[in-house]
Amino acid sequence: MRKTTKGALAVGAGVALLLGGAGTMAAWQLTSTAATGTVSSGEFNLATTAGATWKWGTATSATGCTATTTDFPVGAKIVPGDCVIYTQPITVTASGNRLVATLSVSAIANSGVWSGLTATSATTMDANPAVTGAGSPFTITPGTGTVNATGKVVTTIVFDPATTSSTGQNSTATLNGVTLVLKQTAPTT
Amino acid sequence: MPPRLRPALVACVAVVLLLVGSTTAYAAWARSATVAAGAVTGGSFSGTVTWSTAPNLAGMHPGETRVGVVQVARTASTNGRWVYAVGAPTAAPSGTVTAASTALAGQLVVTVYTGATFTGTTCAGTPATLGVASPVQALGAVVRHCVAVRLLPTAPSTVQGGSVAVTVPITLENRSTN
């Protein structure tokens, strides 16, 4: 074989070897970003709202009371046959697609209550599709929307009209009312 | 498998494990509020029964009538409405009990009238119904009744010198504020 032909064959083989190697080698790359978007938290609140009222009533029994529209002035004193009605509005605000909450009411002990004086509280929630239950505990389930559920705590204080002698004269009773607790519970699914 | 693919597969498996983790510890939102009625105070109740015009009963003679006016009122700063009832008047010997006093007590007729005034020795109105509650009175109301005391014309002479106290019992009772 002629000399020039030998050299050309040797170079061709060397190039082939380099292409088949497993050492350092550049590789095509592609970078992409998976965006999760924004995440929002829900809302959860219980509050007493403005508009609380105190009204005189007339006792119909030891515990019964017929309300009037007459305001009960601060510091007014009650006598047998009187009753007083205290109404406090409340609002429950809740949002969260899987949120489930309960609203429970518990009484707080009173002090200084004299014989013939009774104080009772009742909590009611206004009609709302996200609120169920006839009384404590209520269940709040906002679903996909935001709940602004309203209700009220009504405290009725009755001085038994059949009270005799001087029972309760110049006495003061402290009515501590109730505690409302709004609490998230575990979702069912 | 070419070695350069192995690291990517390991990372995916680790992420899956974290998402399936424990459900026993459940944090929960909670809010509370207190609705307190505060303090209520009982009022007081007292009243007075006095003679706004005291009858002069000294030296009465048979057939004579003497008159006075009794006044019923609530004490200021007390509370609530009220009613009252007039009880049966009494005449009883006063001081040292003597035969004359005892005799005199039995010869007196005491009448409470509905009217609050008198003319001469005649009370206005008609005899009040005893023992029956009055209409409900406002807190600051003052009520009066004329009272006539008559010594019967048939009173014997044995009553002379006797001494008797005349009493008109009136009971007050509270009613509700409204």
- B26-71 per-position pLDDT tens digit: 668 999 999 988 999 999 999 999 999 999 999 999 999 999 999 9
Structural domain contains residue A22: no
Nearest beta carbon to residue A181 from set B26, B32, B80:
B32
* Residue B23 banded pLDDT, cuts 50, 70, 90: very low
* Residue B21 banded pLDDT, cuts 50, 70, 90: very low
User: How many structural domains compose chain A?
Assistant: 1
* Residue A188 banded pLDDT, cuts 50, 70, 90: low
Residues in B whose CB is inside 8 Å of some CB of A read 4, 26, 28-45, 79-80, 174-178
Q: Do A81 and B175 touch (CB under 8 A)?
A: yes
Q: Domain locations in chain B?
A: 47-175
pLDDT at B26: 61
The secondary element (H helix, E strand) that includes residue B172 is strand B170-175
Q: What is the CA radius of gyration of chain B?
A: 41
Mean pLDDT (chain A) is 85
- A70-86 per-position pLDDT tens digit: 999 989 999 999 999 99
Rounded-to-integer distance, Cα A95 and Cα A122, Å: 26
* Residue A24 banded pLDDT, cuts 50, 70, 90: low
Nearest beta carbon to residue A79 from set B32, B38, B45:
B45
Residues of B in contact with A177 (CB under 8 A): 34-37
Residue range(s) defining the domain that contains residue A106: 43-164+175-185
Please give the residue that has the higher pLDDT: either B16 or B147.
B147
Interface confidence, given as ipTM, is 0.75
Residues of A in contact with B36 (CB under 8 A): 108, 175-177
pLDDT at B6: 38
Mutate to test the interface with B, among A53, A77, A113 (most CBs of B within 10 A): A77
- A114-124 per-position pLDDT tens digit: 999 999 999 99
**Nearest alpha carbon to residue B116 among B56, B155, B73, B74:** B73
Average pLDDT, integer, range A139-152: 93
Task: Determine the residue of chain A that is closest to B23 in CA distance.
Answer: A186
Strand partners, A139: A102, A132
pLDDT at B136: 96
Half-sphere exposure of A116 (CA within 13 A, CB side): 22
Nearest beta carbon to residue B30 from set A57, A172, A183:
A183
Q: Do B176 and A161 touch (CB under 8 A)?
A: yes
Q: Do B177 and A78 touch (CB under 8 A)?
A: yes
Nearest beta carbon to residue B33 from set A46, A78, A101:
A46
Binning chain B into helix, strand and coil, the percentages to the nearest 5 are: 15, 40, 45
Structural domain contains residue A32: no
Mutate to test the interface with B, among A43, A60, A157, A169 (most CBs of B within 10 A): A169
Q: Taking 90 as the threshold, does the pLDDT of residue A127 lie above it?
A: yes
Determine the distance in angstroms separating the CA of B26 from the nearest CA of chain A, rounded to an integer: 7
Structural domain contains residue A1: no
User: Do the Cβ atoms of A126 and A133 come closer than 8 Å?
Assistant: no
Q: Taking 50 as the threshold, does the pLDDT of residue A67 lie above it?
A: yes
Share of chain A above pLDDT 70, in %: 86
Task: Determine the residue of chain B that is closest to A95 in CA distance.
Answer: B29
pLDDT at B132: 96
Structural domain contains residue A6: no
Nearest beta carbon to residue A44 from set B31, B79, B177:
B31
pLDDT at B75: 85
Question: Which pair of structure tokens corresponds to residue A31?
Answer: 């970078």
Q: Do A166 and B45 touch (CB under 8 A)?
A: yes
Structural domain contains residue A19: no
CATH architecture of B47-175: Sandwich (2.60)
pLDDT at A5: 37
Please give the residue that has the higher pLDDT: either B149 or B14.
B149
Rounded-to-integer distance, Cα B167 and Cα B173, Å: 19
Q: Taking 60 as the threshold, does the pLDDT of residue A93 lie above it?
A: yes
Residues of B in contact with A75 (CB under 8 A): 41
Rounded-to-integer distance, Cα B89 and Cα B142, Å: 20
Share of chain B above pLDDT 90, in %: 75
Average pLDDT, integer, range B1-24: 33
* Residue A176 banded pLDDT, cuts 50, 70, 90: confident
